[in-house]
Amino acid sequence: MKTAIRAGLAAALASATVLAAPAQAGTISQKTGVCTSGSFGGSFTLKYETSGGYHHMIGATTSSGPYIGDAGNLLLRISYRDGFTIHTIYTRSVPTSGTTSLTLPSGLDVPVTAIGSAATTFSNGTDSCVATVPIT
């Protein structure tokens, strides 16, 4: 009988420990914005984790052109508004050819109480457009 009770307590403690871990993990979000200008267009997907009162940027994927392999440039800007102040926390311009994956540096955090957004400007030298996603 004592062995059954001990086994039951051990199982209860083990399951309580297993259940506590997911509550500490953050929520992963992925948002996509698209834009077009004539036959040229772009798609931008931002991935971030929300935990501890902040949205922590993880990475981004972009694609552009009407054709796979179209060459051009993209400008990624991540910012947030806190009251009347706009904070730009990241800006990066890179050449692109079709699809581009970006790993973002750690420390790019947007407070959950602020209004955040990420915008990517796509350009192929002739046409350009801006795809924007909210960070909420």
Per-residue pLDDT of the chain (136 residues; tens, 9 = 90+): 444 434 443 444 333 333 333 445 689 999 999 999 998 899 999 999 999 999 999 999 999 887 766 778 999 999 999 999 999 999 999 988 778 899 999 999 999 999 999 999 999 888 999 999 999 9
Note whether residue 90 is domain-resident: yes
Distances 66 to 28, 98, 113 between C-alpha atoms, Å: 30, 9, 38
Note whether residue 112 is domain-resident: yes
Domain region containing 68: 26-135
CATH code, domain with 38: 2.60.40
H or E segment to which residue 47 belongs: strand 40-51
Note whether residue 128 is domain-resident: yes
Q: What are phi and psi of 101, to 5 degrees?
A: -105, 135
Q: What is the pLDDT of residue 2?
A: 43
What is the tally of structural domains in the chain? 1
**Could you give the CA distance from residue 84 to residue 40 in angstroms, rounded to a whole number?**
35
Note whether residue 111 is domain-resident: yes
Q: What is the pLDDT of residue 24?
A: 52
Q: Which residues contact 89 (CB under 8 A, 6 or more apart)?
A: 78, 79, 80, 108, 109, 110
Q: What is the pLDDT of residue 88?
A: 98
